[in-house]
Structure 1
């Protein structure tokens, strides 16, 4: 882990996911619990790429960071390799929202194919997955919204507004939920059943 220095060294910004971000301390302070114990020294860091703030604390300034907030998003290992690869790239390219959204759409496409939905375009496969109760109707509606955003980017639709990092985060939020529903939750249930 890194030290609580004037520059916080993280592999990626937890907000925009830019690699090797310039996270500069803009404020520092100390805190204690209600009894006056548990001294923590904090710094607040600003990402010069996106302006997002990250906090971190240690027992003393310039010592090893105990924890930082927010956390960078991580892709669950229960998501199969191919869609996990697309999702990790989507996360890593949040600073380039159009590309991130296209990679997110590729992840949804790959997840559906892994569940046996190979025929037709993505719209029809999403609808078929909802008809077969693989996903809920609300999840299908959310998936269509994500897909439309991806289409706007892939075909450079002149009428579509350029996506923001927040748009890409919204799409990634769906894709993570989709992956949790299709792969992560079933894997956790199977592990739970094996322990009983």
Structure 2
């Protein structure tokens, strides 16, 4: 019997791992759930990034300052910081609602979400899977 190959499942079955702190999980879930509403999704992705940096002990100043501090502390690479800044700046567009500011696209929302999701993997999920050190 020839069964067709499954290409994609609707709705998307993506979920945030339970190891991720509740506040971050909530922002990231909202970013995913609102991908069809790109302005909202980008803002939620930026909020999840901000929450991750705060959860890592970087609580002072602006999100810009926290991203820069994360690089100095070795938490993020410069490339990761560049992407985080891009999400931060994209989130400012709908937040400030200026006349000249364009709305975010679905591609913008997907890019922001993909980075926030990858950062969650990097900061929480992968470290939780490390085997315990022999001591």
> Under a length normalisation based on structure 2, what TM-score does the superposition of the two structures give?
0.88
1:103 to 44, 47, 50: 44
Q: Could you say which structure has the higher strand fraction? A: 1
Residue-pair matches, total: 132
User: Gaps (5+ residues) in structure 2?
Assistant: none
Shift of 1:194: 6.7
Q: Counterpart of 1:69? A: 8
SS of residue paired to 1:41: coil
> Where in structure 1 do 4 or more consecutive aligned residues deviate above 3 Å?
none
Taking structure 1 as the reference length, the TM-score comes to 0.62
Larger radius of gyration: 1
- In 1, the alpha carbon distance for the partners of 2:30 and 2:2 equals 35
Q: Name the one with the larger helix percent.
A: 2
Structure 1: gaps of 5 or more residues: 1-38, 43-54, 57-67
Q: CA deviation at 1:184?
A: 1.1
Stretch deviating more after TM superposition (70-79 or 124-133): 70-79
1:36-90 Cα shifts (integer Å, max 9, x gaps) = xxx3433xxxxxxxxxxxx64xxxxxxxxxxx62553322222211101110011
Match of 2:120 among 179, 182, 190: 179
Query: CA RMSD, aligned part only?
Result: 1.9
Which structure exhibits the higher relative contact order, with contacts defined as CA atoms closer than 8 Å and separated by 6 or more residues? 2
Q: Using the alignment, how far apart are the partners of 1:85 and 1:115 within structure 2?
A: 17
